[in-house]
Amino acid sequence: MAFNTVEMRKEFFAEERDESLKEIGQPTRRQDILGHVTGRSPFFDDHRFDGLLHLRCVRSPHHHARIRRVDTAAAERMPGVVRILHPGDVPHNLNTLLSLIGFGRDDEPLLAPDTVRYVGEPVCAVIAESERAAREAAAAVRVDWEVLAHVLDPEEALAPGAPVVNPVWPRNVFEYHDKYTHQKLRFGDVEAAFARRDVTLVEGRYQMSPIEQAPTETCGAIAAPETNDRFVCYTSTQALFFSLGTTAKLLSLPSSRLHFVGGTVGGGFGGKVDSLHEPLAVLGAMLTGRPVKYAWDRAEEMQVGAPRGAERWYLKDAVTRDGRIVARRFRGYFDCGAYTRLSSYAVQKATAHLPGPYTIPNVSADTYCVFTNRTPATAMRGFGITGVDFAIECHMDKVAEAAGLDPVELRILNAYRDGDMKAHRRVAKNTALIECCQVAAEKAGWPVRPEFAAASSLRDGGGARAEIPTTRTDEDGRIDGAPATRPAAAPAAPAPSRPAAPAPAPTPARDVYGLPVREGPAAPAPRPQAPPVPAAQPAAPPPSPPPSPAASPPPAPPAPAAGEPYKPAEPFTRGVKRPGGHRFSSLSGTRRR
């Protein structure tokens, strides 16, 4: 038998398919296969330019520190150094990726102007004639740090007195709908179901650590001045206009002055959406008038590049003796690191996904996007879903054991079917979980009793299963009401949010799933890490940066100091309420400046 086998199981859903198609369904050879297998497909780094310059960032060795001084005098005198980019060189040095769809608050600088919030955060960038010269000059930059207390665990970040990671988010959480510390899902009444006498309760805690996308080709971009006052940028991006729009915004350029070329990418897996390279490379080309390459080495890719973030999930199920799950409650923490990037989106995607592909009449979820002093998290294959699927499917096996049911049969028994109401209040259609369970079990020789082998996604759904149950809501985590329960012990830093004043619900259950209330963590001793930035040293005041071209833009206003409440420059439009016609106007760099 072959090592791997693949079979098409055409007998399933055959009546729903049009089998008269000519090109669809054919194992057609890839259009680009010849270039790939002969090694001739051009990647971004295959574009050659005379006089190419190389850019390397000076990075934070601390989890959280204020920048007292940056001394680049020695670095600037080193051979081959052409220019050092400072935060003030970035025309609009504050962004959040999803501002492209009008979601969230600008919370991340391209180069940190006054405070670093994770190990590896860039504070300035050296541009030099060779990569070696750039590395050596970056190592010669002296930064005088004032180390601040940090927090690395998301539940500790929510505890009273925890250090504020990012002043844009004073409660260390992304604020949903301008109202809550988290995204809620409420469907039915889980507490009432947990209190039933005929159910067994099953609880679990699940943790996924950060994972690297690990593309063969590390992230990078090459930018060069083009004719007619434009800039071309060859990039490894997964999202050409995402990167173009982000660059246009950060550099205050109209999209018409940018020409982005991508295409052949050596693996992405979600790690090439963040658009960190294109803006610095284009800025370098603007300020030097020469082609500039900015690419990560493997260590940066692994420890500075955003990983699939850690997630922690708490689950509690109520299951009847015949194996039906009648209630499921989630509390989830996405560790998004120091800046939002895309984690706020993943939280809503994960919440929409609950309770997994099962029909459960009572579901509740509280999903948090938590800021900590670590490398920002970002997308990766299965973004928002992989971690909670691990939790759900490990939990299903515990439920099966508690109910004395076979794991496959438990899934088929509880699987969603066409016509069922899902917890986000949309009717399930086009479902196929049951058939997948049956076929996988059959292939593996895992016995399933006849009534389960005969089940179908097309039958026995809907009806009572299509109803939206009477739902109990609450205001736990309400931001406006937070002061009532905010401890007085944390006057300087705004306290992390806690459940608001007790909701009028008959049986408050926050004792089990309320935010954990812990003593604030002692600030651990900061630990120097790999990035080649010398520790704090007495240094002369920084010299003024080398003269910029006349077009050099004014420095961005500094970010508010830690501890100050967030004051939006303009009124923040809530959550996902996206202004229709203007949703993508920032592609032209004209919005949110």
Partner 1 sequence: MARHPGRGFAAINYPIGMNLGGDPSQALVHSNPDGKFMVSLSSIDLGQGMKSVTRQIAAETLGVPVADVYVDTADSDTGPHCMGSFASRGTHRVGNAVIAAAEEARAVMLEAAAEELEVNAADLETDGAGGIHVKGAPSRAISTAEACLAAQFKQGRTVSGRGIFLIPPSDVDAETGEMSPVSCYAHAALVVDVEVDDETGELTVTEMNSAYEVGRALNPRLVEQQLVGGAWMGMSHAAWETTEPYYPDRRAGPEDFNAYLMPGPGDVAPHHIAILERPAPDGPYGGKGPGEMCANPVLPAVANAVYNAVGVRIDELPITPEKILRGIRANGGARPQGRPGGERAQGRPGGERAQERPGSGANGGRG
Peptide bond into 113 cis (omega under 30): no
Nearer to partner 1, 89 or 474 (CB): 474
Helices marked H in 415-570 — which ranges? 433-444, 450-453, 510-513
Nearer to partner 1, 131 or 217 (CB): 217
Q: Supply the minimum distance, in Å, between the C-beta of residue 257 and partner 1.
A: 11
Q: Supply the minimum distance, in Å, between the C-beta of residue 152 and partner 1.
A: 4
Nearer to partner 1, 554 or 580 (CB): 580
User: Residue 238: which of 274, 276, 280, 214 has the closest Cα?
Assistant: 274
Nearer to partner 1, 77 or 429 (CB): 429
Gap between the terminal Cα atoms of the chain = 62
Q: Supply the minimum distance, in Å, between the C-beta of residue 280 and partner 1.
A: 18
Neighbours of 593 (CB within 10 A): 14
The position carrying tokens 């090592």 is 3
User: Residue 163: which of 517, 524, 480 has the closest Cα?
Assistant: 524
Rounded to 10°, the helix 433-444/407-414 angle is: 160
Q: Supply the minimum distance, in Å, between the C-beta of residue 342 and partner 1.
A: 9
Strands (E), 447-509: none
Which residues, in sequence order, are CB contacts of 52 under 8 Å at separation 6+?
222, 290, 291, 292, 293
Q: Supply the minimum distance, in Å, between the C-beta of residue 105 and partner 1.
A: 17
Structure tokens at 115: 């405070």
Full DSSP string of 35-88: HHHTT-SPPGGG---TT-EEEEEEE-SSSSEEEEEEE-HHHHTSTTEEEEE-GG
Rounded Cα gap, residues 108 and 95, in angstroms: 5
Q: Supply the minimum distance, in Å, between the C-beta of residue 88 and partner 1.
A: 28
Structure tokens at 257: 């002055």
Q: Supply the minimum distance, in Å, between the C-beta of residue 256 and partner 1.
A: 10
Nearer to partner 1, 198 or 480 (CB): 480
Nearer to partner 1, 222 or 556 (CB): 222
Nearer to partner 1, 245 or 284 (CB): 245
Nearer to partner 1, 385 or 523 (CB): 385
Q: Supply the minimum distance, in Å, between the C-beta of residue 421 and partner 1.
A: 11
Distances (CA, A) of 178 to 15, 169, 424, 477: 47, 11, 20, 11
